[in-house]
Structure 1
Amino acid sequence: MKNDIFHILNRGVEKRKIFSNHEDYIRFIYNLYDFNNANIVFESYSRRKQKHLSRLSGVALPTNRNKLVDILCWCLMPNHIHILALEKINKGTSEFSRKIIVGYTNYFNKINNRSGVLFQGRTKIIPVKRNKHFLCLPFYIMANPLALLEPTWKEKGLKNCQAAFKFLKKYQYSSLSDILDDDNLISVINKKLFFELFETNPKQFQKDFIEWLNMVGSRTPDTSK
């Protein structure tokens, strides 16, 4: 329902990679913008790319949209996606999810000369209650890339939390740098709403994120087994 918050996630079928290169990631990020619209999309990524042969991150995007959701944060991994969104119109989240998955699958299949499904079944759209878990959800979502740096960090802990956070800040395919007001490929989130809902700001969010990493990343391995 309108104003409900949802955690959207899906992964590649058989856990396969859904992003093969930088261009794939960029395409999906633009899909987050283009398909977040209840109206028919006329100025698509492909059309903009034909007009602007250089890097698309500097291209001004249209603002006359009837948004399906307000994206709060997101993260793209080689074989799965996470999006946290607030629904703006009834059933907007399911429509948004359908559009981005179908749109990206069509693109991926076309450039790779393949057919069939790319994602593993129906997209999970999980209602989020505004409680203690909700406050930590952005940390969880945007900490996913740590699996690329330290694959066993959840079991064995982080070697260096400051270095881990620095890695996350440099990771291009999440909303963290956008939230922290650093350079980002393209802004698709509602930052004002994000800061209001989580009662934070860029400086405070960074401080809280590092504290969260110190807490969850300092687990002592169980050596009794």
Structure 2
Amino acid sequence: MTFFSYPPAMPRSARIDIPGLLQHVIARGIEKRSIFADDQDRSDFLKRLSSLLQETDTDCFAWALMDNHVHLLLRPRKATLGLFMRRLLTGYAVFFNLRHERSGHLFQNRYKSIVCDHDAYLLELIRYIHLNPLRAGTVHTLEELDAYPWCGHAYLIKDKWFNAELRNEILSHFASRPSTALNRYRDFLAAGLAAAEPADLMGGGKRRTLALDPALDQDEDFDDRILGGGAFVRQLLGDEEREERSRSHLNLDHIFEKVSRHFGVDPNSLALPNKERRIAQSKALICYLALRRFGHKGTEIAERLDLTPSGVSVAAKRGERIFQDDEDLRNLWEDI
């Protein structure tokens, strides 16, 4: 297989963030700096990851903690990937900065996420991610990788996976009997290690998809945000359009009414200047939900709340913190 490096920098595309999709996520340290000073840092990151996976009903098929970046292969079931990653990275960055008495950003501002065709590339992605420590020289043999605590491979073979049901799902791709499946999985990794030039699966688009499946038609539809052939791309882009329509269906009146009821305030009072705490919280949450989750325009929200468009953006950040810190709120909105 041919190895491809990153393509030239291009304008940022909007993420495809729909629950149920398989996503290969790479989060890098700012300026390629290390994001783990020691094993205590790595342990904290894993605890946060494990807790969030359970709390948000998100599946993790593979993971690897490298010195200056992390790989995650995720399938969010309910929460969006964006919400999951913000909570994971922000929480860890706060811990890291406090522990090491530093300030400022720890991660690059934008993690990389590629939507992947689950049926076609799940196993290739698991192998690619789990071999990362070995290919980087962190460990030197597959036997060492078997015991390496900062990669999902050891957890998979030692039955310490985040979720026993998901572990069974992964192994079922290799055989029905667990012992046979484990042997075949390990052989699968060994075969990937023997490849002189592994496929680069850190991105989507035409070149990477064709590197995995040269038989695909060169004229197929491709998208840089997607690892998959034309049929998958077309279906996914159609799903994305339907998801956007679904999100935007919730009008501002409904959002105002639902938030006002939660905080026990009069919806009409939100259009007036008022610094009372519940009013301020209501406005902030409305800005977050309407702007970030349901795609309403900042100017439209600003007019309804007697704010400026920039004020809506500032309030949305406060609203996100309110949303993340209030479990009742998250439960109230998770199915909408």
TM norm. shorter chain > 0.5:
yes
* Residue 120 (1) aligns with residue 108 (2): yes
List per-residue Cα deviations over 1:14-38 (Å, max 9, x = no partner). 11111011101100000101223xx
1:213 is matched with which residue: 181, 185, 193? 193
Letter in 1 for 2:116: V
The residue that corresponds to 2:20 in the other structure is 3
Q: 1:129 maps to what in 2?
A: 117
Q: After TM superposition, list the pairs within 5 Å mapping 1:1-225 onto structure 2.
A: 1-36=18-53, 65-91=54-80, 93-130=81-118, 132-149=120-137, 164-181=141-158, 187-189=161-163, 190-196=166-172, 198-200=173-175, 201-216=181-196
Percent sequence identity is 26
CA contact (8 A) 1:70 1:86 kept: yes
Deviation at 1:11, TM superposition (A): 0.9
Q: Is the 8 A contact 1:181 1:202 kept in 2?
A: no
Q: CA contact under 8 A between 1:68 and 1:95: conserved in structure 2? A: no
SS in 1 for 2:73: strand
The alignment partner of 1:149 has SS state of coil
Gaps of at least 5 residues in structure 2 are 1-17, 176-180, 199-336
Shift of 1:97: 1.0
Q: How many residues align?
A: 174
Structure having the higher helix fraction is 2
What is the aligned-residue RMSD (CA, Å)? Answer: 2.3
Contact 1:7/1:85, CA 8 A, preserved across alignment? yes
> Which protein has the larger Cα radius of gyration, Structure 1 or Structure 2?
2
Gaps of 5+ in 1: 37-64, 152-162, 219-225
Give the alignment's TM-score, normalised by structure 2. Answer: 0.48
